[in-house]
Amino acid sequence: MKKLFGILALVPSQKSLVDEWCFKKCGKILMGILSDDLVGMIPCKEEKCPIEGKRMKYGKLENGDVVWVRKLKELNETSVQRNG
């Protein structure tokens, strides 16, 4: 069983963080979408996100992977370094 993080990329307060950090600096976000009737999220497998503000367990996929919703916090250039 693996962890998969759903990034709320379409939420206005999160979109600029996803664009700036996830796509431009980190680069470990996956292309695709996790979706149900309520929300659409972009998947990420990075366990240790330096701009993660909060996470909440969301559910499980058919393959047993656990999905967590990840809320990003504002970037602070002096304390954030790229993973790996």
Pick left, alpha or beta for residue 75 (phi over 0 → left; psi -120 to 50 → alpha; otherwise beta). beta
Report pLDDT for 9: 83
CB atoms within 10 A of CB 14: 19
List helix spans (H) across the chain: 12-17
| pLDDT on residue 68 | 93
- pTM of the shown model: 0.74
pLDDT in tens, 24-76: 899 888 777 666 655 678 889 899 999 999 999 998 888 888 999 999 998 76
Is the separation of the CB atoms in 4 and 61 below 8 Å?
yes
